[in-house]
Structure 1
């Protein structure tokens, strides 16, 4: 019997499935950045403090990251189609409730509802692509999804600023409604009805509680460590470390754990998950610190600084789909290492910036950092998914998303800490206009060098991964390799 030819191009049905998943990623990326710019208006609308309104972000992030693994397991148990569409509906409903919220408390609760749906659509994206499409199309499809994620993140500040200025902050949530409705209707028609991977499995409730506390206290600790109550931040981080240990012990003895700990004995699986964390830390670190450089050192207005920052996601948008398609042909290791090396060079040049550097150079360096991230990120996702058997794809998809979001949180916290250590009291002096902004340029250079070290570590880790042949079958079974 002749073997079915391995597809090299997506069929129209394949493309529609990828578009539905990509719309979820687009909304998740958009919502991650669109709210930030509207926080002052929200605080003014409800007459609350900056600290209080920050929980519009913190509550969403804690719920989202904490429930990614549970959402993956639910998809394994109930089927990806129904859970994904249900998550989309919940996210869309939460967006509506956010826009209609009459008080800050109701808005925070509505954001938590939105985050539950966001966890589902974020966690199941990679596993749906892996399950519904041929293995030979995995990198290409994940590249498109990554492109939509970055497109959403890039458009967030622009769309949020426009909607808040032209209408009101409520419209930053209403904008999700048409996208959500289209995605739900399209998903109901194009996503195949496949039997659940683990219909008889049970939810690891103990693991859910432990990872919720571990991640929640980690994020809370990182966000408060550099504030007026650093002792509270340190306490939260100690509690987080304790609960991470308890979570590890729980997953070791649980009959049906959220995370299959033995998978980490696969060196490639472990190292490539670590690389996901590292590359996200570096990118998020640059995105959070670069506005300070542009506005403090270069004296560029906020709106123009936001436009300059678009160079990074544009670089990723242009390279992610191409890198994914190439990795389907030549394998994932070479594109991943290439991407990390491009990022390393870009960050080295960013570390040479001074008050006299031109905006053109800044844009070029940011573009190449985004391009390198796009070259590495899609193959990384494909590589991690390819290292696990079918029964663990759901949990691995959630784990990759958790590592991505955790990388964002760690990146923001660590680069701000590096900046404070490098600048010393100069940041406070700057606020009092006692020193020249150019004197702070060295602190920003140290941050870029720190991010460059993260990329170098990624290269070293990838050198320890054995190269695998590109996927040439679509049966879905993936052999474990060391």
Structure 2
């Protein structure tokens, strides 16, 4: 019976979307459960944050690695192996009784997520029709963004009405269904002979992980602290070493000639800048809702779902639109919408109405949906077929870097308002005026970031190399 499902396009799209949703859901689903987890394991608030950080570090550091590995071993094999590891890691995380066990099993979970999420975009090109690439990428990218945005709401519900262990257990039945469907529907792809540059992998991991650590912990430790400055210096050194290694390696992890392709470099750089405002919004808006507008945590979470609603509606439309015209032109519209959204959010203040706030959130969510799917299609279309796995991993890596920069930079800009007014360690002294001013400054920076993304995309030309390569 299952043999009859092979190459079923609707089920393949479902499997790819499910993988995208699960990998990004588990970045944010633990956020609201951190206080409960800290109490259960008897650790500090600072320590429990590692349940998020270890997942982000592993996911962000191995996407390109597994994109390369998928080209060598086959997409189906890497995809199914990743699902299996993710299920095992989720199960073990759910039954952990010691904090060090949870961290170890979250690492395993993230390792599996990196394997299957690295190639989700490339799988759309590999398994689904060419004339619907934009639409299908729009759906997959939209579902991934929904996972990231809905994580806190779902995690809060599970923690309050069941218990936090089910934040991890919920992945198991879904993952099993995904594995069965993937095994039944996917055929194995062509394998490209080659080896994995393990020295390059190690250098890339150190460079990327220290950068992610600095971006995520800069606010906690202080940007001028020894550990953050040391992490940034270490990252720079290993990025330089990585580039040198790749330039002389017989089988480089990333062919530098691929990164030198003008359109690839411009579009991936734009990806980093375009993801900054959304990441900043997810972190900063709860402070605005709770401190400035006096909302409860649950009400704040409901307000944040307005952005996913816009993403859900606009994402597939933007993807479909990119099948009819050059995808980089659609991406330009997304950048313009993003600038408008950031400027609207920068005007939020204590007297802003719920209608005005909702409109601002809808605009910002729409910008994410109008930018990411067509830009992903553009990058993959400009990538020769032999680089599709790496290109897919590179897209997701640039998304992760954008999220890290957005959290770190916009969060710091907002925090500096408080620091310059009432000094450090003043979370209990937050006032509506301070939070509003911080939000204003942060989203002006967000508008600048979207402006840079706009300029970078405006410089690109659509050639669609994947058709002929």
Which category describes the TM-score, using the shorter chain as reference length? Answer: over 0.9
- Residue by residue over 1:243-287, the C-alpha shift from the partner in whole angstroms, topping out at 9 and shown as x without a partner, is 011111111111221212112332211110011111111210121
1:226 maps to 219
State the Cα distance separating 1:429 from its structure 2 match: 7.8
2:3 maps to none
1:319 maps to 314
1:452 maps to 447
2:202 maps to 209
2:244 maps to 249
1:182 maps to 177
- After superposition, residues 73-472 of structure 1 pair within 5 angstroms as 73-196=68-191, 198=192, 200-228=193-221, 230-426=225-421, 428=423, 431=426, 436-468=431-463
C-alpha contact 2:338 2:450 (8 A) present in aligned 1? yes
Q: What TM-score, normalized to structure 1?
A: 0.92
C-alpha contact 1:141 1:321 (8 A) present in aligned 2? yes
C-alpha contact 1:430 1:436 (8 A) present in aligned 2? no
Rate the CA distance shift 1:122–1:12 in 2: closer, same or farther, 3 A: closer
Rate the CA distance shift 1:267–1:173 in 2: closer, same or farther, 3 A: same
- 1:41 is aligned, of 29, 36, 44, to 36
* Alignment gaps of 5+ in structure 1: 1-10
Rate the CA distance shift 1:225–1:96 in 2: closer, same or farther, 3 A: same
Cα distance in 2 for residues equivalent to 1:406 and 1:426: 30
Cα distance in 2 for residues equivalent to 1:288 and 1:254: 40
Q: Secondary structure at the match of 2:322?
A: helix
Q: Secondary structure at the match of 1:384?
A: helix
State the Cα distance separating 1:432 from its structure 2 match: 7.2
Rate the CA distance shift 1:84–1:429 in 2: closer, same or farther, 3 A: closer
Count of residue correspondences: 462
Q: What TM-score, normalized to structure 2?
A: 0.95
Cα distance in 2 for residues equivalent to 1:432 and 1:65: 30
State the Cα distance separating 1:352 from its structure 2 match: 1.5
2:27 maps to 32
Cα distance in 2 for residues equivalent to 1:402 and 1:434: 37
C-alpha contact 1:344 1:456 (8 A) present in aligned 2? yes
Rate the CA distance shift 1:302–1:255 in 2: closer, same or farther, 3 A: same
Cα distance in 1 for residues equivalent to 2:9 and 2:430: 58
* Alignment gaps of 5+ in structure 2: 1-5
C-alpha contact 1:333 1:468 (8 A) present in aligned 2? no
Rate the CA distance shift 1:478–1:231 in 2: closer, same or farther, 3 A: farther
Rate the CA distance shift 1:478–1:241 in 2: closer, same or farther, 3 A: farther
Cα distance in 1 for residues equivalent to 2:400 and 2:237: 21
Cα distance in 2 for residues equivalent to 1:432 and 1:205: 44
State the Cα distance separating 1:300 from its structure 2 match: 1.6
C-alpha contact 1:224 1:232 (8 A) present in aligned 2? no
C-alpha contact 2:382 2:462 (8 A) present in aligned 1? no
